[in-house]
């Protein structure tokens, strides 16, 4: 049992199928890991022991009846941005510190129906606004590879939990890189599906045209397992796409015979740390050894993705977060003198500095006299970025490059300079603006810290994306490595 936390989700499923352990035993093992190690990581906001054990017992009964599916009895964690019935959902904010959701998010409901066990809700940057998991009201999350460094954000709690073996997999959300970036900094496989592939219903909104639910796992095979259960149309989400859900796990075994891989020149610019560039180039060489052809491509408008994103995303955030006013739900100040005082103090006390910064930015760019100059212009540039990707995919099957410009940086290193923090997502943001699927997989280490390789596919190209990642992971073992303190 001592090696369970080092296994993949697929490996644990095989153990359950062979009867080597029960779901209850598996769940107790991970709950014990959380109790022993989470104080040093702060990866969880809520641990749901009673719920988890009840689900595990139900899964074992299901298996005994011969009715188990691929995910039955497997423990996972959910980012605390997904509503879960009768469970606290905080979004890492004082504003929702005491909010208990009355319903399940679509992602939670679909995974519950597939038989998963929910260990708990993971820490995150407040309302998913951050790249380091330092903006959470519940304190920063620490990177298991080096506790003095960040795990990335905003899905940093999910990333730290999986990297340290406190959960075999976790859900996350990706608005500008918030799954792929923490995956890269913690040595995990982080999948952001095509926009609309997974329902956003019950996922607390940050930027509605960019947010997408996804997974943090050890392997591409694990990501395929979870995506098969999560994906699909949802009448409650108007952005959900009516498209057939393929068997993603089966697709792993049928990769293209001859891959043409585009390598964007923009991804290897002056901002990329040299040691990271060397590591990523070696990963690309492995694909060449497997028969792929590397082709340099241009994405001329991609350098504009960061300023474009930081107009579009705050604008949508200022609209979405206006519902948190201290009247209907959320934090309410004490003894307000009048309605204006209620609004001002409730929002002032409930929101943290980064959320306030983005609300103010978004309100400004949407205001009369500035809408055309900023928001409308940003949406026009967004279309140019999307067109760049479309032209690139006319010539190549996939795009590959670094996920982040550096390995994990130290806690506090960028909190005083928001612009430097924002630039950490420079290679990931364009994928969200274009609504494309992307994945980060571990491809090496620099000074003992993980480095991520980002793979991007055309819309609904998840089968090819996962197959390429899986083929690389069959030839390497970076995805199986764990931080020594948690092995």
User: Known catalytic residue: 154?
Assistant: yes
ω into 325 cis (within 30 of 0): no
Rounded CA-CA distance 413/407 in Å is 13
Q: Provide the strand spans (E) within 63-175.
A: 75-79, 117-122, 170-173
Q: Is residue 319 among the annotated active site residues?
A: no
**80/91 Cα distance (integer angstroms):** 5
Please, what is the angle between helix 9-18 and helix 220-230, to 10°? Answer: 80
Structure tokens, 331: 């934090």
Torsion from C-alpha of 373, 127, 178, 274, nearest 10 degrees? 70
**3-state class of 168 per DSSP?**
coil
Cis upstream peptide for 154 (omega within 30°): yes
Catalytic residue among 23, 132, 178, 305: 178
Calpha distance 341→34 (Å, rounded): 41
Residue 79 bears catalytic tag: yes
Backbone angles phi, psi at 86, to 5 degrees: 60, 25
The label of the residue with tokens 């992971």 reads 473
- The β-bridge partners of 451 are 444
Rg (CA), the chain: 21
In the chain, how many H helices and how many E strands?
16, 11
- Alpha carbon distances (Å) from 228 to 45, 102, 249, 373: 27, 26, 8, 42
Estimate to the nearest angstrom the gap between the alpha carbon of 196 and the chain centroid.
15
For 330, left (φ over 0), alpha (ψ -120 to 50), or beta?
A: left
Q: Which two tokens stand for residue 419?
A: 């612009």
Sheet holding 213-217, edge to edge: 44-47, 117-122, 75-79, 170-173, 213-217, 189-192, 438-446, 449-456, 398-402, 260-264, 293-297
Instruction: Measure the CA–CA gap between 167 and 479, rounded to whole angstroms.
Output: 15
Per annotation, catalytic residue among 22, 136, 154, 440:
154
| Distance, CA of 247 to CA of 50 (rounded, Å) | 33
Query: Considering 22, 23, 46, 79, which one is annotated as catalytic?
Result: 79
For residue 479, CA distances in Å to 132, 249, 457 come to 21, 17, 21
Backbone φ, ψ for residue 406 (5° rounding): -140, 165
Active-site annotation, residues: 79, 154, 178
């Amino acid at each position: 049992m001592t090696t369970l936390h080092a296994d993949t989700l697929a490996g644990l499923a095989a153990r359950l199928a062979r009867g080597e352990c029960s779901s209850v035993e598996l769940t107790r093992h991970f709950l014990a890991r959380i109790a022993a190690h989470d104080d040093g990581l702060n990866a969880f906001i809520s641990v749901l022991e009673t719920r988890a054990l009840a689900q595990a017992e139900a899964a074992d009964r299901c298996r005994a009846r011969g009715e188990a599916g691929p995910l039955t009895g497997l423990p996972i964690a959910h980012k605390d941005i997904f509503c879960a019935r009768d469970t606290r959902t905080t979004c890492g904010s004082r504003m929702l510190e005491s909010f208990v959701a009355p319903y399940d998010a679509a992602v939670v409901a679909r995974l519950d129906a597939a038989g998963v066990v929910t260990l708990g809700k993971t820490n995150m940057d407040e309302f998913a606004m951050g790249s380091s998991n330092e903006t959470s009201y519940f304190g920063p999350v620490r990177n298991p590879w080096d506790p003095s460094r960040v795990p990335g954000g905003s899905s940093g709690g999910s990333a730290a939990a999986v990297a340290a073996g406190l959960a075999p997999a976790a859900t996350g959300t990706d608005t500008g890189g918030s799954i792929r970036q923490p995956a890269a900094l913690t040595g995990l496989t982080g999948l952001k599906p095509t926009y609309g592939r997974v329902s956003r219903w019950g996922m607390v909104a940050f930027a509605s045209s960019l947010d997408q639910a996804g997974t943090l796992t050890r392997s591409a095979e694990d990501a395929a397992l979870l995506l098969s259960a999560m994906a699909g149309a949802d009448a409650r989400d108007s952005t959900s796409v009516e498209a057939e859900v393929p068997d993603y796990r089966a697709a792993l075994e049928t990769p293209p015979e001859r891959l043409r891989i585009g390598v964007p020149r923009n991804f290897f610019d002056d901002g990329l740390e040299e040691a990271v560039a060397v590591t990523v180039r070696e990963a690309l060489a492995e694909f060449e050894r497997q028969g792929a052809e590397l082709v340099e491509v241009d994405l001329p408008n991609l350098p504009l993705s960061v300023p474009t994103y930081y107009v579009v995303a705050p604008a949508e955030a200022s609209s979405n977060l206006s519902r948190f006013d201290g009247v209907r739900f959320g934090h309410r100040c004490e003894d307000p003198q009048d309605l204006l005082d209620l609004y001002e103090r409730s929002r002032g006390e409930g929101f943290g500095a980064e959320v306030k910064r983005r609300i103010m930015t978004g309100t400004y760019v949407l205001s009369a006299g500035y809408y055309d100059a900023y928001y409308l212009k940003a949406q026009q540039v967004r279309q140019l970025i999307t067109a760049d990707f479309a032209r690139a995919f006319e010539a190549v099957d996939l795009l590959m490059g670094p996920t982040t410009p550096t390995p994990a940086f130290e806690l506090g290193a960028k909190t005083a300079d928001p612009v430097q923090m924002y630039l950490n997502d420079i290679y990931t943001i364009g994928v969200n603006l274009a609504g494309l699927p992307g994945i980060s997989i571990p491809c090496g280490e620099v000074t003992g810290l993980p480095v991520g390789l980002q793979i991007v596919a055309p819309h609904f190209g998840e089968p090819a994306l996962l197959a390429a990642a899986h083929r690389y992971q069959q030839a390497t073992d970076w995805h199986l490595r764990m931080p020594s303190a948690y092995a």
